[in-house]
Amino acid sequence: MTAKPGNDSPTAPIDARIRELADWRGVPVWSHKGMICTGETYKDYVKLTFAKGATLSDPAGLFNSSLDGNTRRAIDIREDDTIDELALTALVREAIELNIAR
């Protein structure tokens, strides 16, 4: 796995500490002091799976998939969906802080 510098990544506006791993079994992974989330592509949607999503607060209700697990939570995004960028940014930053604290 190769980490791309955070400033070259589209995630830099969210948090420059994030590193995008070029490949993890064909799935992009974003991390800082541990995995933040993965991005999986499917025919009808993209899935962002947060490694420790069950411990994150989600007041905007972005998590809409993998809700029954003890650890992960996911967001399935379809082509016509509107993304609450502030809420997604808050989830990513909370995941970073959780990784730093552990």
pLDDT in tens, 73-89: 999 999 999 999 999 99
pTM of the full structure: 0.81
How far apart are alpha carbons 79 and 2 in whole angstroms?
Answer: 29
- What is the rounded average pLDDT of the residues 29-37? 91
- pLDDT (tens digit, 9 = 90+) per residue, 42-73? 999 999 999 999 999 999 999 999 999 899 99
Instruction: Name the pLDDT band for 14 (thresholds 50, 70, 90).
Output: low
In-domain check, residue 88: yes
Q: Could you list the residue range(s) of the whole structural domain that residue 95 is in?
A: 29-101
In-domain check, residue 1: no
Overall number of domains in the chain:
1
